[in-house]
A and B are shown apart, each in its own frame.
Chain A
Amino acid sequence: DAGVIQSPRHEVTEMGQEVTLRCKPISGHNSLFWYRQTMMRGLELLIYFNNNVPIDDSGMPEDRFSAKMPNASFSTLKIQPSEPRDSAVYFCASRLAGSTDTQYFGPGTRLTVL
């Protein structure tokens, strides 16, 4: 079975550019999570969706960040405009409804903003 799929795996961009990260959750999972990981702050939850609806976006750093989940098999995290402090590894994770909260992580997107 395919796990959580993220693309791109690596992204290098210049400050001010728009960045779009993509995620395909495991089929049948109804919750999706976007995380950011840095050495300084560890793993931070940015936003999560249940049944494609955003439930908690309190972790989104600022208005430059936005996330969508147009259907059960696809989500995007967009940063516009990007800044060097956005450099991090961004993970997507999904969870099965009615499960014990175990989350399944994608391989991550390493973002570098120059």
Chain B
Amino acid sequence: SQQGEEDPQALSIQEGENATMNCSYKTSINNLQWYRQNSGRGLVHLILIRSNEREKHSGRLRVTLDTSKKSSSLLITASRAADTASYFCANAGNNRKLIWGLGTSLAVNP
């Protein structure tokens, strides 16, 4: 399978805590992207990290990329109830198709 894999599959935390999700991929990448999906909605792009970058920040989001291990992590700091959603990683190869993981379901409890 070309699909990436996120872990954990499900994560439940308290508001204010940090949430860390990991993603592994199998093919070479041009960039790796993280998306969020709220229940019943389409996916929304969160952040992109290029293959020559190791870390990137956007607000409360921090993404790391380790190309030697073919893995990435998404950290959400000071989580809020509104962060409850599923989070997907997708790696973009040279053919410009995105290969998607199965997602991590995050529940942030108030």
Could you tell me which A residues sit within 8 Å of B by CB distance?
4, 31, 42-43, 45, 48, 56, 91, 93, 100-108
Contact = CB atoms under 8 A, between A and B. Distances in A.
Interface of B: 3, 30-31, 33, 40-45, 48, 50, 88, 92, 96-98, 100-103
Given A100-B31, A102-B33, A108-B42, 7 more contacts: A42-B101, A42-B102, A45-B97, A45-B98, A102-B45, A104-B45, A105-B44
Contacts, number: 47
A90 to B, nearest CB: 11
A77 to B, nearest CB: 15
B42 A102 contact: no
Q: Which of B41, B42, B101, B103 has the most CB of A within 10 A?
A: B42
Overall SS of chain A's interface: strand
B103 A42 contact: yes
A56 B48 CA distance: 24
A4 B43 CA distance: 11
Contacts of B3: 42
